[in-house]
Amino acid sequence: MRQSSVRLREVACLLGQFTWAAPAVPFAASHYRDLQNLYIRQSAINEGNLTVRVSLSEGARSDLFWWATRFPHHNGNSLVEISPSLVICSDASLVGWGAVCGGVTANGPWSLSESKKHINVLELVAAYHALRCFADGAFGQSIRLFLDNSTAVYYVNKSGGSRSLELNQVAVSICNFCEQRQISIKAIHLPGKLNIIADQESRRTQDWSDWMLAPSAFNSLAEIWLMEIDLFAASWNAQLEKFVGWNPQPGAMATDAFSFSWTGFQGYAFPPFSQVKDCLSKLRREQASLVLISPLWPSQPWFPLLLEKAYEPPRVFHPRADLLVSCQGEVHPLSQRPSFRLVAWKLSGVSSLCRAFRTKWSNFSWEESVRPHALHINPVGTLGSIGAVDSIRIPCLGL
């Protein structure tokens, strides 16, 4: 590791020792894959000449560092078969991924780029998603992972491989996930006809209430207001590092935003339009603070409550075709209507804050205000009026 270059023969010698030792050392097999790929690539380039000197890649140095520092602390794999504490089944289709554990299901769609990957890669990614959904909080446990793809089973059990760089990367990520949590994992092949639930979950059609606000639009909003947790998201459309899913999702900190208190943090909510009323009820009940995205639909019964709970001028998004997109990049049908507008609201369940906001604007001269729909054709900073509470008009700005 201290040398600028090493002979390819030295690399081959190390790989032989690592390959011999790996079956007896927990998580070791995933920590020579970059070194192995370096050897295979350089051996092909130099036509098998092992006397040439090569530079170690960053990944290869990382592998060597693990063996130099972590290897002495491992006492070897147990020879006793441990009963699994978790049994997870996963599956993938060209539509999405699905998983089940203890009767709880999880699923998600593939993005446009993901759906073009080979099915073997998708099966392995589905297994990784399943682990992140059901074993993120596990530590020191034994897991059985049932898959109906023999290639995915091989790459999990071998902690990688040399045939496919993409499969190897996913398998190494799975092994690193398990190593961080001291999880013992074994993949078992399950015929597809028996993997019924996970297969059904992987073939679920898109939820047409599940859309993503254009990242550029969200970033503009994030420059104005602090947001800490995305309360209504999936792994594919989460706008913040911390997010909550409707069902188990890889990377989610919790499931079902309505199941815990919103008090004490600044949430971001882009719920299905049918859930706006429930969000407002929870906001008022818990006196929470929230940035909420909703359509500009003054005729809806929940719209007066939005006006009442606002304590900063709402922001009306500039109309654009890609303001709302699906996981496949499809445009929301309402986005194509000239009259459709989305509004970002800064809301509070504390009535005194909302009254102070309205009192502040009650003495404002409204002679130059415009309708919200006309904000995008006026200069930046033009003030609009989005509605009124107790005869006090509520201002809005374009975004």
User: What is the three-state SS of the chain?
Assistant: CCCCCEEHHHHHHHHHHHHHHHHHCCCHHHHCHHHHHHHHHHHHHCCCCCCCEECCCHHHHHHHHHHHHCHHHCCCCCCCCCCCCEEEEEEECCCEEEEEECCEEEEEECCCCHHHCCHHHHHHHHHHHHHHHHCCCCCCCEEEEEECCHHHHHHHHCCCCCCCHHHHHHHHHHHHHHHHCCCEEEEEECCHHHCHHHHHHHCCCCCCCCCEECHHHHHHHHCCCCCCEECCCCCCCCCCCCEEECCCCCCCCEECHHHCCCCCCEEEECCCHHHHHHHHHHHHHHCCEEEEEEECCCCCCCHHHHHHHECCCCEECCCCCCCEECCCCCECHHHHCCCCCEEEEEEECCHHHHHHHHHHHHCCCCCCCECHHHHHHCCCCCCEEEEEECCEEEEEEEC
Q: Using CA atoms, how far apart are residues 17 and 110, in angstroms rounded to an integer?
A: 40
Write down the pLDDT at residue 221: 94
pLDDT surpassing 90 at residue 383: no
Write down the pLDDT at residue 387: 87
Domain boundaries, the chain: 6-73, 86-202, 212-398
Q: Kindly report, residue by residue over 250-268, the tens digit of the pLDDT.
A: 999 999 999 999 998 999 9
Q: Kindly report, residue by residue over 25-46, the tens digit of the pLDDT.
A: 888 999 999 999 999 999 999 8
Stated pTM of the model: 0.85
Query: Across residues 296-316, what is the average pLDDT?
Result: 93
Write down the pLDDT at residue 128: 96
pLDDT surpassing 80 at residue 395: yes
Write down the pLDDT at residue 79: 65
* Per-residue confidence band for 80, with pLDDT thresholds at 50, 70 and 90: low
Q: Using CA atoms, how far apart are residues 209 and 200, in angstroms rounded to an integer?
A: 20
pLDDT surpassing 70 at residue 237: yes
State what percent of residues in the chain have pLDDT above 70: 98
Other residues' Cβ atoms within 10 Å of the Cβ of residue 85: 14
pLDDT surpassing 70 at residue 215: yes
Write down the pLDDT at residue 104: 93
Q: Using CA atoms, how far apart are residues 77 and 79, in angstroms rounded to an integer?
A: 6
CATH of domain 212-398: 3.40.50
Indicate the average pLDDT of the chain: 90
Query: Across residues 233-238, what is the average pLDDT?
Result: 90
Write down the pLDDT at residue 379: 80
- 86-202 CATH, one of 3.30.420.10, 3.20.20.70, 3.40.50.920, 3.40.50.2000: 3.30.420.10
